[in-house]
Structure 1
Amino acid sequence: MLPQIVIDTDPENMLSREDPARIFHNQIKTDFLMRDMIVVGLVSKNSIFIPETLNIVEQLTNNILQLEGVISQDLMSLNVVDNISQITDQQGVNQGVLFEYLMREAPTTLQASQEIQQAVKRLPMLNNTLVSGDNKAVAIYVPIIAKDQSYAIAEQIRALAANITAVTQKDLAFHITGLPVAEDQFGYEMFVQMAVAAPLAGLAIFLLLWVFFRNIALIIAPMVVAMATVLIIMGSLIGFGFTVHIMSSMIAIFLMPIAVVDSVHILSEFADRFKAGDDASKTIKKVMGHLYKPMLFTSITSAVGFYSLMLTPIPPVKVFGAFIGSGILLAFVLTITYIPSYIARMKPETLAKLQAAIQQMEQKGRLANSLEKLGAFSVKRTKLILIAFIALFAVSLVGVNRIIINDNPINWFKADHEIRIADKVLNEHFAGTYDAWLVFSNNNLQQQDALANFNNILNVANNGATKTAISQTYNQWLNTDKNEKRSFFTQDLLIQLDDFSFNANAQEQPWLEQLYSISEQANNAQKIFTDPAMLNWLVNLQTALVNNGDVGKVNSLTDIISTVNRELNSGDDKDFAIPNSSNGVAQTLLQFQSSHRPQDLWHFVTPDYQRTLLWLQMTSGDNQHMANVVSWVDNYISENPPPIDVQHQWAGKSYLNVVWQDAMVSGMIDSLLSSFVMVFIMMMLLFKSIKYGILAMLPLTFTITMIYGLVGWFGKAYDMPIAVLSALTLGLSIDFAIHFIQRVRELEAEKQSLSAALAAMFQEPSRAITRNAIVIAIGFTPLLLSPLMPYITVGFFLASIMILSALVTLVLLPALLTLLAKRSALKADKKSQHS
């Protein structure tokens, strides 16, 4: 199955295909012919408006236009866009608007280069988008057919740039960025990490097990369990047709250390119990008798922690949780069947050597000595420990309240990655390489009276085939789903009525003319984005958005109209404005459609002029930044209502990232709370005690709070990898508590003394817990070597979680058990004295 692997790093797939925001986003891409863009930038230390640099722009653009997968007609570069100017006669009288290529050929003189510079400054659609405000950077916007081709196309563009001497000589700095290429390049590098990190984790675990057990024959068994678990689960994931997303790419490295946890418990206790000359089969049966129940419950609780991720509304996170949870249960089954059989069939002399080596190591080893001292400290300093943990818990809660929910696909790369560098440099020069689309739609309130008049006339019209056909059209529109319903008074309706009038008889002609008149007037009234009042309101919104500071630039229909209107009139800035009438607006739009790029108009307005799109450019792709813009627009519209009632909605990659992150946060909270309750119930069932159920949950509670407290205090954004950590903490932190409490209770029943039980607990049982914590922590450390930030984040925090949860278990639980025992003894003494 593994060769059939399909990588998917498209954040759009963080939302289900039925999600309204995703459906609307894709509909807008279709309706407005919007494309996924790769942003290519050339940055100079001086002005780019010199012949040599402009020649490179032309050369690079022409080469990019030849690449397969590039939508050539929508590519934006200096040599394929229009300059809009006036045609004047010899007396300087305006003769109309001239649309000519801004740079048909690269200039050969400095003067010609500067003329292009001056022209760009007069074109708001190009200024600070294709050329930076400081004139030191030029951009090429490369639209692509499919976003999953962006990395391959970007690599081809890099190769083209590398062949240009001026670029390779560092005269110009070459950069590529944009969310599509960042996401697709992350997918490529993620695939490489899958092939590197999991084997490194396996190697680290193997070496660590050898350090612990000094017997290669023995430690092969848990490695077989780990490899089998990873291969079966990853093979199943791919075989069932699931794509490998950012989270599911980590399944192998998550399962590798988790799969050996139970094996370490078995090997540790077996090495402690087995004596030279003993029957290995009988010893392993005793070991399994002691460990089966706690291993079963730790496996179930760990699986529940990950299965809880299926409650989130994020499809890749659901898949991740389902397969990790299943992998944990599979590892448990393989462990309890394979490991005992493997050990029972080992040669007696091999086992004797193992036992001797383990005993010697643990009697003289630093680990054994350190744990004995830790146990003594935990029992003697109970009040100090309790006060310290309460203080840490309080500080952690403050940190949790400081957590900032944010993500940005560009930040998935390290700061020195070429994508991050390009993003930083180009956003310092331009209005922004991140975009969002703000779409305004006519609510069609204008058609209500017209519909009533239309229906009244139709009802009194004489019966016949014509009336039946028109009534059918009307009823079909009435029954259309409200989410898909557009205006009734369309151009198609006018054509239909006109066709009927051509063949109408004397009775039909009068009411058909009335219907046509009503429909025509309603159709014209619905073209709200040719209404000067509405367009001027959009101009004010654009200005306010930029002045607010979160948006670098807004491109819209009003820029086209105002530019053409200026050239139709004086050519001066005073005429850079919306015409005073709808007819004047219509004239500017008709003029623009005679340009070399008439299709650009339909990126900003639909042909029926009932919907318009504002293209927002932003210098930050942070979800928090986008959320601030959305909130600001909502407040602005509320305080400054448009002259015509319209509906506003958002689309674009930056906005979709906000939607799925909001869904992830709320889903993770529900997931954590529900699984927390389920695990607590399971603890009470396991120990048949509310007290021990609560005690088992304390290390988990402290660990989660402390880890998220650290996230808040260190200013680390709460993103997808951080969110998923709660499931791992829930699943694995409880593991140590279950083994600790179960063994303490068994030892207390055996020795009839809690202090003796705790002393014995800090022998083999605590070593097994510590070994497991170290094995899992070390198993995740290869992620720290990754060039990808989500992997580094997961590696660092998971290693920290394991060490922290083991320490909390080994320090807090003995202290609390000792305090509770003292309290019970004090109550018993008072009761006996009272008696």
Structure 2
Amino acid sequence: MKLRDALLTFSVDRPKWVFSLLLLLCILAGLQIPSIKVDTDPENMLPHDQPDRVFHDQVKERFALHDMIVVGMVNRDSDQGIYNPQSLSALQRLSEEISRMDGVIPKDQMALDRVDNITQEGPGTIRFEWMMKEAPSTLEQSAEIRQAVERLPLLDNTLVSGDGRAAGIYVPIESKSVSYKLSQQIESAIAALNVKDEFHIAGLPVSEDTFGVEMFVQMAISAPLAGLMIFILMWVFFRSFLLITAPMLVAMASVIITMGLLIGQGYTVHIMSSMIPIFLMPIAVVDSVHILSEFADRYKPGEDAKPAVLEVLGHLFTPMLYTSLTSAVGFASLAFTPIPPVQIFGLHVAFGIMLAFLLTVTLIPAYIISLSPKRMAQLKDHNIQEDDSSRLGRLMSFMGRLSMMKARLLVVGFSVLTALSVWGVSQIQINDNPVRWFKSDHRLRVADRVLNAHFSGTYDAYLVFDRTEAQDPIAHLNSELVAALNKEPLSVDIKPALQAMMESARAEDFDQYASMLASQIDEASFTRPAQEESVWLDLLGRVEAAQIDAKYFLKPDVLEYLDKLAADLETQPDVGKVNSLPVLVKTVYRELTGGGDDQYRLPDSARGVAQTILSYQSSHRPDDLWHFVTPDYRSTLLWLQLKSGDNQDMTAVMEHVKAYVEAHPLPQGLSVNWAGLTYINVVWQEQMVNGMLKSLMSAFVMVLVMMVVLFRSLSIGLLAMLPLSVTILFIYGLIGFVGKDYDMPIAVLSALTLGLSVDFAIHYLERARAIYRQTGNWAGAIADIYKGPSRAISRNAIVIAIGFTPLLLAPLVPYITVGFFLASIMAVSALVTLLLLPAVITLIGNKDKLFQTQVSVKEEV
């Protein structure tokens, strides 16, 4: 028995078995849901072994960097801005409260009460004291704090805005996953301050974590609302609550089983996979609407429902199978992207689509057959003749006539539209920013605008410089010492002792090795024969020189290069400020050498730089140094504060650095790389866009092959791709035309466009071919097509397009995007199918040849 017949016979003969098996699957899947694990970190868009992510993690570890939440205080009322006793007192109390919260790293927290003021205590000496050990009680004391802050480049416009209106608290956190919880605790602490100052909380970690929390809240609201809207619209068309319950059961079961499978396999629910219900529901309902539409057209109350069900499913089975396969292929193609959460999302939606097909061809007929004759009698008579006089029927008849009478005009019109769409596609800008996932009036978007207007920037990026060696530094030092010794007459006597010292000083760390070797050589200069003293002292000098040379970022010329690059970067509009080791050294050196502005410069020698840094080690926060340079002084970084987290802005900064390095080559032996959350967002976005493009192209080819196989005709296969092609171009052309950034939700919609756009074409062409064989006349075929099949297509488009309008009311931009473009996809693909496709067929001369296939594929399935 054929697969189709087996499934249909089983469904109509044993409906209770169908219900029982489905209930069992839903229960098993539902039992997995309580073990759900949520991950909303966009950083996990990249595999753990992706080179940029590995380097980013290494940089955080090497420089003891932590993700941060930025808390901003703004005073618009006082003439002194935040430099007044009340505001500074509130700031200190809030800072102390935050430092005691779980998940905060207190020693690295930055606020006015937790940083040093650096001043000169006397000639050659420096003084470190807390900037705000106690909150000031007078305006004069507040003004003194302002003068001190504005004198320290590392703090000015970082901890306090240049206009003095805003102050910040930089809160380092143990994990991004605690961001939302901490933000709630901080808001509670702010409420307890009882001051008039404004407070805002910003930063990528809190934006990403907050989105994750609100995303699941929104999912719990939007998905049921969309389901309710679809249910209401189907009732409008079919006027039977009993009948339209079946497709809703299909959708719900598909979502529950798919999500249960995902969670049961141990996958975390990421930003992408959380949207599986939204993407799966319209696809799960589409086939059911086709069945209900044709069943309602053919069934008359009082008749036996079984023949009508089998007849409808008999000729819809193959079109539904292929529409499901094409949709599944569109989403399964996402497995070729290099983004793990996208791969998981695509494969599970593909599974859900095929599951929905299986449930549609089993549950729908089982459900209809199980209804009693009394309940079936309640089904309104939707025969074709009556529907012809309805608004939808009259509209379909008009569109059918229009497609024939104005075929050339329609083709020209759609061609112009397609050309405009191509232009629109060329205008698309690839850009994303997790903060923009919220609506413009969301508190995080408001905080982002306010704080980035006042401060240097709440987005971080790190430009990391590493000293690269042509050979191992220990081996290089040893060979240099041996070469120098070989030139000495006493080398024969000294070499064995030196070799022994090298062996005993063996260590993996160069600085440790050189220190041990220098100690032994120094001792030998005293204990060995007097005539060897000068030789040992020469060797000692070479070791000490190698030690200084190894501490690469103590060299003034190297620091000068970094300082000039930082100064150049600060001229860029996207860069608010660059903090660096040279800035720290110049600040401390100024106070060591007199405190004048003319002394704000780098020391002349590496020893001078080392002495300056040694002085800084007496501060209350000596470990802050290691945020800029590693203890071996072989790696350093520039901390860029950016006013925007948009990918385009970060990319512009990257391109500027690239151009600068090309014009001013790096010092020999120096390499440079990027790190930081803002940069990582650029990396995964680029990989997603490139991966989506490749998957879309490959899926497009696969769908074309499937269309040719389905219709056993290259010509009809190409016609089936027409609505898909026009819809994709129009949707993405519209994105470019209106200036919408190509972001994560838009990228994923390509798979949805692929699956839904070809759906209508398959049903239209399959029925058109069958009807044309019966009538032998295209005009007659058009009349029949725009009675039955066209109404199913239009009903489907209306149900899905309008059904997901509740998403437009969501506070999260990705949901609004999905809702708007889902409606657009359905509307455009339906119009192209119902107007352009028949117009093109009308202009084809030999229709007998076009529809010449003798055996329908559906008869063989």
Q: Which residue of 2 aligns with 1:434?
A: 459
**TM superposition shift of 1:10:** 1.0
Q: After TM superposition, list the pairs within 5 Å mapping 1:153-168 onto structure 2.
A: 153-166=182-195
Task: Say yes or no: does 1:68 pair with 2:102.
Answer: yes
Letter matched to residue 48 of structure 1: I
Is 2:299 the partner of 1:279? no
Equivalent residue, structure 2, for 1:584: 608
Secondary structure of 2:110's aligned partner: coil
Measured in 2, the distance between the counterparts of 1:472 and 1:379 equals 93
User: Does structure 2 conserve the Cα–Cα contact (< 8 Å) formed by 1:494 and 1:516?
Assistant: no
Q: Does the aligned pair in 2 maintain the 1:310–1:322 contact within 8 Å?
A: yes
* Letter paired with 1:795: G
Q: Which amino acid aligns with 2:100?
A: Q
Residue number in structure 2 paired with 1:480: none
User: In structure 1, what is the equivalent of residue 146 of structure 2?
Assistant: 117
Question: Quick one: which of 542, 567, 573 aligns to 2:591?
Answer: 567
Q: State the Cα distance separating 1:467 from its structure 2 match.
A: 6.6
Structure 1 residue identity aligned to 2:129: E
Residue in structure 1 matched with residue 809 of structure 2 by the alignment: 785
1:244-643 alignment runs, 5 A limit: 244-356=269-381, 362-445=387-470, 447=473, 450=477, 452-453=479-480, 470=503, 489-492=510-513, 494-495=515-516, 520-643=544-667
- SS of 1:79's equivalent in the other structure is helix
Question: Which among 106, 122, 126 is matched to residue 97 of structure 1?
Answer: 126
CA distance in 2, matches of 1:492, 1:262: 73
Unaligned ranges ≥5, structure 2: 1-31, 487-491, 851-861
Matches within 5 A, 1:114-153: 114-153=143-182
The answer to whether structure 1 residue 175 and structure 2 residue 197 are counterparts is: no
Q: 1:143 to 1:632 in 2, by over 3 A?
A: same
Do 2:66 and 2:172's aligned partners in 1 also have CA atoms closer than 8 Å? Answer: yes
Q: Do the aligned partners of 2:69 and 2:170 also contact (CA within 8 Å) in 1?
A: yes
Deviation at 1:781, TM superposition (A): 1.9
**Is residue 727 of structure 1 aligned with residue 729 of structure 2?**
no
1:501·1:513 contact (CA, 8 Å) conserved in 2? yes
Write the deviation string for residues 102-145 of structure 1: whole angstroms up to 9, x where unpaired: 11101111111101101111100100000001111111101111
Residues 759 and 15 (structure 1 numbering): CA distance in 2 closer, same or farther, change over 3 Å?
A: same
Q: How large is the RMSD of aligned CA atoms in angstroms? A: 2.7
Partner of 1:8: 39
| Structure 1 residues 376 and 360: alpha-carbon distance in aligned structure 2, compared to 1, 3 A threshold | closer
- Matched residue, 1:108: 137
Equivalent position amino acid for 2:645 in 1 = G
For the 8 Å contact 2:462–2:638, the answer to whether it is kept is: yes
- Encode CA deviations 1:473-509: one digit per residue, 9 max, x unaligned: 69xx7xxxxxxxxxx63324643785899899999x9
Instruction: Mark the CA change 1:462 to 1:537 in structure 2 (over 3 Å): closer, same or farther.
Output: closer
For residues 48-59 of structure 1, the aligned pairs below 5 Å read 48-59=82-93
CA gap of 1:584–1:745, structure 2 versus 1, over 3 A, is same
What do residues 338-366 of structure 1 show as CA deviations (whole Å, max 9, x unaligned)?
Answer: 11122222223433442525668624321
Aligned to 2:716: 692
Q: Quick one: which of 50, 63, 87 aligns to 1:32?
A: 63
- Is the contact between residue 497 and residue 512 of structure 1 (CA under 8 Å) also seen in structure 2? no
Instruction: Using the TM superposition, name which of 519-528 and 428-437 deviates more.
Output: 519-528
Shift of residue 782 of structure 1? Answer: 2.1
Most deviating of 156-165 and 453-462? 453-462
Kindly provide the amino acid, as one letter, of the partner of residue 118 in structure 2: I
- Tell whether the 8 Å contact from 1:254 to 1:780 is kept in structure 2 after alignment: no
Q: Answer with 578-587 or 465-474: which moved more.
A: 465-474
Per the alignment, do residues 807 and 467 of structure 1 end up closer, same or farther by CA in structure 2, a change over 3 Å counting? farther
Asked if the contact 1:131–1:430 (Cα under 8 Å) also holds between the matched residues in 2, the reply is yes
Rounded Cα–Cα distance in structure 1 between residues aligned with 2:384 and 2:522: 103
| TM, length-normalised to structure 1 | 0.92
Contact 1:528/1:644, CA 8 A, preserved across alignment: no
Q: CA deviation at 1:763?
A: 0.8
Q: Are residues 537 and 825 of structure 1, via their aligned partners in 2, closer, same or farther at CA, if it must alter by over 3 Å? A: closer
**2 CA distance for matches of 1:101 and 1:272?**
83
**1:688-708 deviation digits (Å, cap 9, x = unpaired):** 111111100011000000000
Aligned to 2:53: 22
- Counterpart contact for 2:238–2:244, Cα < 8 Å: yes
> Which amino acid in 2 is paired with 1:323?
H
Contact 2:521–2:540 at 8 Å: present in 1 too? no
The structural deviation recorded for 1:308 is 0.7
1-structure distance, mates of 2:515, 2:616: 25
> 2:774 aligned with 1:743, yes or no?
no
Aligned to 2:856: none
- How far the C-alpha of 1:457 sits from its partner, in A, is 9.9
Is 1:801 matched with 2:832?
no
Counterpart pick for 2:261 among 218, 233, 236 = 236
Tell me how far apart the structure 2 counterparts of residues 745 and 72 of structure 1 sit (CA, whole Å). Answer: 73
- Describe the superposition over 1:30-62 as per-residue Cα deviations: whole angstroms up to 9, x where unpaired: 000111111001111141111111111111111
| Segment drifting more, 236-245 vs 572-581 | 236-245
Q: Please give the alpha-carbon distance, in whole angstroms, between the structure 1 residues aligned to 2:514 and 2:803.
A: 68
Deviates more, 1:11-20 or 1:774-783: 774-783
Deviation per CA, 1:214-250: give whole Å up to 9, x if none: 1111111111111110000011111112122222111
Equivalent position amino acid for 2:169 in 1: I
Deviation, 1:642, is 3.3
Task: State whether residues 253 and 779 of structure 1, in contact with CA within 8 Å, keep that contact through their aligned partners in structure 2.
Answer: no
TM-score norm. by structure 2 comes to 0.89
CA shift digits 1:2-36 (9 cap, x unpaired): 12222222111111101000000011000001111
Aligned to 2:15: none
- The structural deviation recorded for 1:779 is 3.3
User: Could you tell me how far apart the structure 2 residues matched to 1:760 and 1:38 are?
Assistant: 64
Shift of 1:283: 2.0
SS in 2 for 1:176: strand
- Aligned-pair identity (%): 53
Distance 1:513 1:809, change over 3 A: farther
C-alpha contact 1:7 1:191 (8 A) present in aligned 2: no
Unaligned runs of at least 5 residues, structure 1: 89-93, 478-487, 827-835
Write the distance in 1 (CA, Å) between the matches of 2:539 and 2:266: 55
The amino acid that maps onto 1:306 is: F
Q: 1:765 to 1:121 in 2, by over 3 A?
A: same
1:137 partner letter? A
Tell me: CA distance 1:512–1:191, structure 2 relative to 1, closer, same or farther (3 Å).
Answer: farther
Contact 1:274 1:355 in 2 (8 A): no
Q: For residue 82 of structure 2, what is the amino acid of its counterpart?
A: I
Aligned AA (2:556): P
Kindly state the Cα deviation for residue 540 of structure 1 after the two structures are TM-superposed.
0.8
Q: Hey, what's the Cα distance between the residues in 1 that align with 2:589 and 2:524? A: 42
CA 1:370–1:646 in 2, change beyond 3 Å: closer, same or farther? Answer: same
How many residue pairs match? The answer is 804
Q: Relative to 1, partners in 2 of residues 1:458 and 1:654: Cα closer, same or farther, differing over 3 Å? A: farther
Contact kept? 2:501, 2:517, Cα under 8 Å = no
Report deviation, 1:274. 2.1
| 1:203 CA displacement | 0.9
Alignment of 1:813 onto 2:837? yes
Distance, in Å, in 2 between the alignment partners of 1:259 and 1:709 is 27
Q: Is the 8 A contact 2:514 2:547 kept in 1?
A: no
Residue number among 757, 760, 766 corresponding to 2:790 in the alignment: 766
